[in-house]
Amino acid sequence: MSPKQYSYLAFASLLLIFASQAYLVYDYFQTTRAGLVRESDTILQEAFKAELNIRHDKFKYLMGEERVVVPPPPTKENTVKADFSSTHDLKGNILGVFDLAVNKVVSNLVPLDIIRLDSITGTILKTRNISSDFTIHVVDNKTDQVVDQSKDQVYFSMLKIPSKSLIIDYDKNESLQLILINPFGLIIRRMSLMLISSLLLSIICLLAFRFLLRTLARQKQLVAFKNEFLGTIAHELKRPVASLSFNLDCLSMPAFAADKQKHELLVNRSISATSELNDSINMIVALTKLEEGLLVLNKEPVNLKKMVEELKNKFGSYPVKKVEIQTVYEADEILLQADANLLNQCFANLIDNAIKYSNKEVLIIITIRKTGHWIVVSIKDNGFGISQEKLPVIFDKYSRAHTANTNISGFGIGLNYVKTIVEKHKGEVGVKSHEGEGSEFSVLLPFGR
């Protein structure tokens, strides 16, 4: 599968995960809501019984507790028939039927006090940690109209959770209903664990998907870099190999072998091409070892003045451009502990860049001085310079300061190599540059520490 197909598959999987999470949250919401409705039914029944007991006590007081009233025998005139077969709430519930009968008798003398019922309900709600506005309705079962209510509150029908109707009078077809107004804050609190876990899982999925996309984009970028890098390496290594091959072919001809001057020139060019080829290979190998954690510095006393003089002689005779290299030394002999080969390659890269990114006449000033515990090697040129937006990234791998306005080829790893090797020596590297005014690279190496 291609990275694009993997992205589509990951995106579809993410949508499926979100849909599953949304369904679970919705299902849990419905379950919590149904539980709250059942709890409301129980609370309403409990409050009604408490209010009925109060009225019953008052009823007994009014009737006189000392006088025992013997009910008359049942006759057609004093018998009340009620059909409970269609009422699922009371069918088989003897206590409910008893409460209805008591309420029927008591209400004739002590009617239902809906305000007191509201107060009792509020107390029970508090004991159950339900902090929601509410009201109690007395509803006509035939017309579904509200006959009476404990509070005159205005609310949207979407923001309420009604309990089941509690029948209190079959003759009048009246029932009670507890209305919880906007109790969704309570539902959310009860769902807090579910919501937090769903949110965390969603965030993890998003971060994982983002990481996957970044990884795929990075891999795509690395593939493009790899292809460009291999093409550039092939081009760069082809040049010294072609030069070496040409020089060797010439050396094999008798005419060049007889001419000592031409023979010596070809030999020097062959040595230079071999050295350039070897330096490029060593730089690539060093970066590879560093990334794998296998690069070890072979430190030894290094004379920086001698190293710079050798580089000056090497780059002073550039085949195409007129190169002038000036040197300024603070002392005749400047020694420090370093890996000579790696450090030499660093300075060679900086000088080679100064020549490549300059016009036909090149002026390079190399200064070596001591500052505190540092040895500072400064390489200043009169080249093209670097734009300010490119300065922060020029030491990044595969980053090149000049790509559009020049035909200069390169790996894009030279400055990254310099920074890596200098930092491996516990040093620092910096640059000052303005476009069109040249550049100055400063390498700081620890001295006497």
C-alpha to C-alpha distance for 149 and 144, rounded to whole angstroms: 13
Of 294, 312, 346, the domain-final residue = 294
- Helix axis angle for 340-356 and 260-291, nearest 10°, is 110
Whether 132 is in a domain gets the answer: yes
Q: What's the token pair of residue 304?
A: 């920086």
pLDDT band (50, 70, 90) for residue 62:
confident
Residue 128 predicted with pLDDT over 80: yes
Q: Are residues 328 and 428 in the same domain?
A: yes
DSSP 428: E
What's the CATH code of the domain at 277?
A: 1.10.287.130
- Domain boundary (229, 260, 294) is at 294
Is 68 in the same domain as 166?
yes
Would residue 211 count as lying in a domain?
no
Tokens 């300010």 correspond to 388
Answer whether residue 339 shows pLDDT above 80. Answer: yes
Is residue 209 situated within a structural domain? no
Question: Do residues 278 and 309 both lie within one domain?
Answer: no
The answer to the question of residue 177 being in a domain is yes
Give Cα separations from 427 to 353, 423, 444, 447 (angstroms): 21, 5, 5, 10
Q: Are residues 261 and 303 in the same domain?
A: no
Residue-wise pLDDT tens digits, 151-162? 876 666 666 888
**Does 260 share its domain with 174?**
no
Question: Predicted confidence band at 262 (pLDDT cuts at 50, 70, 90)?
Answer: confident
Kindly state whether residue 214 falls inside one of the protein's structural domains: no
Instruction: Please report the pLDDT score of residue 86 as a whole number.
Output: 47
Judgement on whether residues 137 and 59 belong to the same structural domain of the protein: yes
Least trusted range by pLDDT, from 76-80, 314-318, 371-375: 76-80
In a domain, 208, yes or no: no
Does 204 fall in a domain?
A: no
Q: CA torsion sign, 414 to 419 to 420 to 422?
A: positive
53 and 30, same structural domain?
yes
- Statement to judge: residues 236 and 347 lie in one domain: no
Neighbours of 181 (CB within 10 A): 16
Return the higher-pLDDT residue of 408 and 370. 370
Domain boundary, last residue among 247, 274, 294: 294
CATH number at residue 437: 3.30.565.10
CA dist list (Å): 297 to 291, 301, 377, 421? 14, 12, 20, 9
Q: Check: pTM over 0.75? Answer yes or no.
A: no
SS3 232: helix
Do 345 and 286 belong to one domain?
Answer: no
Structural domain of residue 250, as residue ranges? 221-294
Is 319 found in the same domain as 302?
A: yes
- Tell me the C-alpha to C-alpha distance, in Å, between residue 136 and each of 119, 139, 236, 324: 10, 9, 89, 100
* Residue 348 shares a structural domain with residue 282: no
If one counts the domains in the chain, the total is 3
Say if 46 falls within a structural domain: yes
> To 10 degrees, what angle do helices 192-251 and 260-291 make?
170
Instruction: Judge whether residue 365 has pLDDT over 50.
Output: yes
Alpha-carbon span 281 to 342, nearest angstrom: 12
* Helix pair 3-63, 114-127: axis angle to 10 deg: 130
Residue 276 exposed, middle or buried by CB count within 10 Å (0-12, 13-18, 19+): buried
Q: Which two tokens stand for residue 99?
A: 């409460």
String of DSSP letters for 324-358: EEEEEESSS--EEEEEHHHHHHHHHHHHHHHHHTS
Domain co-membership, 325 together with 396: yes
Q: In what order do the strands lie in the sheet with 439-446?
A: 322-329, 361-371, 374-381, 439-446, 428-433
**386 band by pLDDT with thresholds 50, 70 and 90:** confident
Higher pLDDT, 343 or 285: 343
